[in-house]
Amino acid sequence: MMDSQALISEKLKDQQLRENLLKGMNLLKTNRKNLLKDRYGDWEALREEGRKVKESALARLPELLERFEQNASKNGIKVHWADTPQEVNEIIHKIAQEKGATTILKGKSMASEEIHFNHYWESKGAKAIETDLGEIIIQLIDERPVHIVVPAIHKNRYEIGEIFEKHLKVERFSEPEDLNRVARTYLRSEFKEFKMGLSGVNFVIADEGAIWLLENEGNGRMSTTAPDVHVAVCGIEKIVETFDDAVILDTLLVPSATGQSITCYNNIITSPRKDGDKDGPKEVHVVLFNNHRTDILAHKHYAKALSCIRCGTCMNHCPVYEKIGGHAYGATYPGPIGEVISPQLFGIDKYGYVLNLCSLCGRCSEVCPVKIPLAEMIRDLRAEQVGDGSGEKILGIERVKPKISEKLSFKAFASVATTPWAWRLALSSAGTLAPLLKVLSGVLPALKQWTSCRAFPDLDSSFQRKVKEMKGVVYE
């Protein structure tokens, strides 16, 4: 497998990828901006309500989970508990064996990506078929989702047409309507006969013993109502107390994710099929899994990361994600939220490098609908990594030992930055030396590495002079 630095460099050089991402991110950001302006009178107040809902639920997590199990069981839903991805997969496989199911149709689910469900299922000789359009595309080419909401946003319609032509043996199309028609035709044959469907969950509602799923394509509804058995997989942090709480989060999630006020389909499942019902599964199973979430919850500071409602807007506004895409992060969850939770879910020794994929611009914290301080957490996790943090236990913690040259460089910078005359001299010298450094940037070791993926900045040393010239100016 390609090492992380090589993978990041490869993605930076992929011009088509960057064009596709830029177009997709701009569309999502514009849709969100316009909707918030036109439809929401006090978005910031709503964000505050969402923050309170999530933090209140996390503070009472054990109590609410137990209440959900009690109420869901009364409704006829079977609740399972799992600590590790392996346990989740084994539970689902056991259910399938009991029902004689060798094929499972999946609605979109990042939880299933986290537990590597498809690979496990295939290792058992079974077949997992994605039904979300974006997931179909990446399954055909054996890739992971590049985004938690729009899994194939890195592919344009011409590339998708080529994928369908090659893997589905159809005529090459490029119009969205034609591509959707090809996908529908492909899936209809799979939907004819299947016993088991798998989905994720957006909200687990404790007081009602119900689960709520959001989607836009209708495939999720098919995967949860057409089969005899529906299995829903979700992390324990998806719990909320009431329907009202879920409505607040839904109202925040959808505009943030896609710039819509509401998704096309809202599937609220309270029980298996009842007598007289015309559709619905005969059995509903909900698998609640941990996978180190309680370890994150134990951190006073980092527990807020579990408030994430998986809208993906932090990725849409991230200048780094926009340049490299989700695959460069090497983890299930990319972007700013991935930088915060991946080191904690999967080990900072394995995924600590993603903390460097951040400019600390703070956009992610500004747009997060539930006010997770993502930029602050990324900075603090960097400190944990080098032994300068709070000392709270982080999964797989392995302190990074800075190079002596790095230590000396930062020590020198700190000395200059805190000495007024030295700082003024450095600024004035920077403007003078900038043209020479720009010429030598391809030769000098440190600058060569730095400019391999960046344009050399234009340094302007006139700021101090302009400030002096402005003394005595009165602003009215």
pLDDT digits (tens, 9 = 90+) for 90-116: 999 999 999 999 999 999 999 999 999
Cα gap 382→269, rounded to integer Å:
41
Same domain, 346 and 440: no
Flag whether 382 is in a domain: yes
Looking at per-residue pLDDT, the higher value among 350 and 431 belongs to 350
Q: How confident is the model at residue 65 (pLDDT cuts 50, 70, 90)?
A: very high
- Assess if residue 23 is contained within a domain: no
Tell me, yes or no, whether 356 and 424 share the same domain: no
Q: Which of the residue ranges 118-122, 395-399, 460-464 would you say has the lowest mean pLDDT? A: 395-399
- Give how many domains the chain has, as a whole number: 3
Name 469's Cβ contacts closer than 8 Å, sequence gap at least 6.
none
* CB 343 within 8 Å of CB 351: yes
Query: What angle (nearest 5°) sits at the alpha carbon of residue 125, between those of residues 123 and 127?
Result: 100
User: How confident is the model at residue 69, as a pLDDT?
Assistant: 98
Q: Is residue 187 in some structural domain?
A: no
* Three-class HEC string of the chain: CCCHHHHHHHHHCCHHHHHHHHHHHHHHHHHHHHHHHHHCCCHHHHHHHHHHHHHHHHHCHHHHHHHHHHHHHHCCCEEEEECCHHHHHHHHHHHHHHHCCCEEEECCCHHHHHCCHHHHHHHCCCEEEECCHHHHHHHHCCCCCCCCCCCCCCCCHHHHHHHHHHHHCCCCCCCHHHHHHHHHHHHHHHHCCCCEEEECCCEEECCCCEEEEEECCCHHHHHHHCCCEEEEEEEHHHEECCHHHHHHHHHHHHHHHHCCCCCCEEEEECCCCCCCCCCCCCEEEEEEECCCHHHHHCCCCHHHHHHCCCCCHHHHCCCCHHHHCHHHHCCCCCHHHHHHHHHHHHCHHHHHHHHHCCCCCCHHHHHCCCCCCHHHHHHHHHHHHCCCCCCCCCCCCCCCCCCHHHHHHHHHHHHHHCCHHHHHHHHHHHHHHHHHHHHHCCCCHHHHHHHCCCCCCCCCCCHHHHHHHCCCCCCC
Distance separating alpha carbons of residues 113 and 85, to the nearest angstrom: 10
- Asked if the structure places residue 1 within a domain, the reply is no
Residue 137 counted as domain residue: no
Q: Is the same domain home to 326 and 360?
A: yes
Cβ proximity of 121 and 90 under 8 Å: no
- SS3 helix, strand, coil % of the chain, rounded to 5? 55, 10, 35
Q: What is the rounded distance in angstroms from the CA atom of residue 471 to the CA atom of residue 474?
A: 9
CA-based nearest residue to 338, from 354, 322, 350: 354
pLDDT band at 75 (very low <50, low <70, confident <90, very high): very high
Which whole-number Å values give the CA distances from 467 to 291, 348, 420, 473, in the listed order?
A: 54, 45, 15, 10
In a domain, 226, yes or no: yes
Which contiguous run of DSSP H or E holds residue 239? strand 239-240
Given a contact cutoff of 8 angstroms between Cβ atoms, the answer to whether 396 and 352 are in contact is: no
User: In this structure, are 360 and 425 located in the same domain?
Assistant: no
For the stretch 195-235, pLDDT in tens is 899 999 999 999 999 999 999 988 888 889 989 999 999 99
Based on the fold, state whether residues 269 and 311 are members of the same structural domain: no
Q: How much is the pLDDT for 158? A: 96
Same domain for 391 and 251:
no
Q: Which of 238, 262, 291 is the last residue of a domain?
A: 291
Asked if 120 and 225 sit in the same domain, the reply is: yes
Residues 68 and 212 in one domain: yes
Specify if 283 maps to a domain. Answer: yes
Q: Which domain holds residue 105?
A: 42-131+195-291
Whether residues 111 and 202 share a domain: the answer is: yes
**Which has the higher per-residue pLDDT, 3 or 322?**
322
223 within some domain = yes
pTM comes to 0.87
Do residues 228 and 260 share a domain? yes
Backbone angles phi, psi at 13, to 5 degrees: -85, -5
For residue 1, what pLDDT band results from cuts at 50, 70 and 90? Answer: very low
Average pLDDT over residues 263-274: 94
Same-domain status, 113 and 210: yes
Q: How many CB atoms lie within 10 A of CB 341?
A: 25
Q: Is the pLDDT of residue 252 over 80?
A: yes
Residue 402 is predicted with a pLDDT of 60
Given pLDDT bands bounded at 50, 70 and 90, which one contains residue 448? confident
Farthest CA pair distance, the chain = 85
pLDDT bracket for residue 473 (50, 70, 90):
low
CATH of the domain at 249: 3.40.50.10420
What six digits make up the tokens of 282? Answer: 């005969």
203 bridge partner residues: 212
Domain match, 126 and 199 both: yes
User: What is the average pLDDT value for the chain, to the nearest integer?
Assistant: 90
Residue 355, classified by CB atoms within 10 Å of its CB into exposed (0-12), middle (13-18) or buried (19+), is buried
**pLDDT score, position 31:** 96
Closest CA to 205 of 167, 145, 249: 249
Final residue belonging to a domain, choices 369, 399, 429: 399
**Does 250 or 192 have the greater pLDDT score?**
250
Q: Give the dihedral sign, CA 406/408/410/413.
A: negative
pLDDT tens for 8-53 read 889 988 999 999 999 999 999 999 999 999 999 899 999 999 999 9
Cα 399 to Cα 158, 263, 350, 420: the distances in Å are 45, 44, 12, 34
